Amino acid sequence: MSAGAITAEPVAVGANPFTRRAVLAIVLIGSVLFLALLWMIGTGSGMGSANNGEAHAAGKGLTGYAAMADYLERRGYAVRKVRNEGALAESGLLVLTPPAFADGKEIEKIVSARRYEGPTLVITPKWISAKPTQDQEKDAKEGWVRLNGTMPPHWEGFLDDVGVEVGKVDANGQSAKWGGMGLSGTLPGSDALLWGKGRRLMPLITEQDGRILAALIDDGGNYPKLERLARGFRQSEVEDEDLYPLVVVFEPDLLDNYGMASLSSARLLDVLIPAMEVDKGGPVLFDLTLNGLGRSDSLLTLAFTPPFLAATLCLLMAAVIIGWRAFLRFGPPFAPDRAIAFGKRALVANSAGLVRRSGRLHLLSGPYLERARERLGQALALPRTLDPDQAAAAIDRALASRHPDAEPFTAVTARLKAARRPHDLLKAARDLHALERMLIR
């Protein structure tokens, strides 16, 4: 009697209507689409293009700064477009391109919060732009704009002691020529110029008639690289050597997409960025929050940004491995066993399981012993009138005559009657079965 006979053999399920390749393709395509959806939600991709024709780092029109961001990235700087206000205080160069009617107090708050974290470059707006209609430009691409005039910024609360003016380049209508920082160039063909005025301005770039197009703010900090390039002299004494510089570019055509078509603007960046204490390969952050493109980070957003991106990738790899192991399981799927199986074999298995669960396995020794004695009596042609003890003695005599060294029948039956543990019962039953085969053979 074996414990393995308690359960019936599993039954195989019918053939799967889908092939293994079809199931694998469905799982892979569904997983990729689900992960793509999570990534788009987390990173903000697919939620509308930021190339909306405005003057910011994602804008590819004349007034945008996508060319500047792309150029600095190609020069080896770690360029990042920031949409979260919390990231504006990180170290590295921060480039602010606020619109004309931005909140000056908000700009001041951003600049003040990072004076000990990294340099800041503020570029003022000048152009009034609009998206071209199909009648005006049939081949216009997304983000292209038409220039419809000029307007100086109105940032009350930020550098209130600095004035900004817009006007004609000169009387004869020629393009403005700029110079400074050891470089010179010509602004793209426009007849309007934006310049700044103020006692704290240390000119870096000026027009040929002296109007300030870009300047370092004299705020009591120590900026030796920029001061060597500036055309003016420091008005205040050095009070805080830990401050980072603040540079304002009043004329946006020096660095916007309109101006970056000129090689002189690219060279200007190669001089200006290192002079602002930004190392090669250092971070350069372009703000998009002031342009209305900011958003707050959610847990899903953080999952797809460093350093949490590494943990997300590990979880995805673990999921792939688990799915692959499940797909390559051994053998076909099996149907669950019936609680009460069909057939004589199942009936015996269920009865054996019931006896075993009840803890009365030792009660089987008596019936098993009687059935063995009856079979041996029939095989040895013993009279049926013999009582159990006489039959056992006759079996011992027959066994001794044929196998003198074998253990007597009565000894084996005594062990079987005395056994209480399943192991002892099974061993005595096997010995009795072996003895029976020796006599019947």
Q: Is 65 exposed, middle or buried (0-12, 13-18, 19+ CB in 10 A)?
A: buried
**Amino acid letter, residue 98:** P
Q: Is the pTM of this model over 0.75?
A: no
Lowest mean pLDDT among 25-29, 34-38, 49-53, 174-178: 49-53
pLDDT tens track for 290-343: 888 766 566 666 676 777 788 888 888 888 888 777 777 655 566 666 665 567
Per mean pLDDT, which range of 48-52, 128-132, 405-409, 428-432 is the poorest? 48-52
- Give the per-residue pLDDT at 334: 63
Q: Do residues 223 and 245 lie in contact, with contact meaning Cβ atoms separated by under 8 Å?
A: yes
Look at the domain 50-294 and name its fold: Rossmann fold (3.40.50)
| Residue 132 to residues 102, 144, 259, 301, 420, Cα–Cα distance (Å) | 24, 7, 20, 35, 98
- The pLDDT score that the predictor gives to residue 59 is 86
At 226-243, the pLDDT tens digits run: 988 987 777 677 778 889
SS3 218: coil
180-189 pLDDT, tens digit each: 999 999 888 6
Q: What percent of the chain has pLDDT over 70?
A: 83
Beta bridge partner(s), residue 216 = 202, 247
Residue 1 has what pLDDT? 35
336-361 pLDDT, tens digit per residue, is 666 655 677 777 777 777 777 776 67
Q: How confident is the model at residue 366 (pLDDT cuts 50, 70, 90)?
A: confident
Q: Give the model's pLDDT for residue 12.
A: 46
pLDDT interval class at 8 (50, 70, 90) = very low
Average pLDDT for residues 246-268, to the nearest whole number?
92
Region(s) of the chain under CATH 3.40.50:
50-294
Max avg pLDDT among 28-42, 53-67, 193-207: 193-207
371 has pLDDT over 60: yes
pLDDT of residue 266: 92
Q: Quick check: 133 pLDDT over 70?
A: no
The helix (H) or strand (E) run that includes residue 184 is strand 183-186
Confidence of residue 7 (pLDDT cuts 50, 70, 90): very low
Give, in degrees to the nearest 5, the angle at Cα 102 between 112 and 162. 60
- pLDDT-derived band of residue 68, with 50, 70 and 90 as boundaries? very high
Higher pLDDT, 172 or 352: 352
pLDDT at 406 over 90: no
For 303, counting Cβ atoms within 10 Å of its Cβ (0-12 exposed, 13-18 middle, 19+ buried), the class is middle
What does the pLDDT read at residue 157?
92
What ranges in 220-342 are assigned the alpha helix state H?
Answer: 224-229, 263-275, 299-303, 308-327
Structure tokens at 96: 């602010």
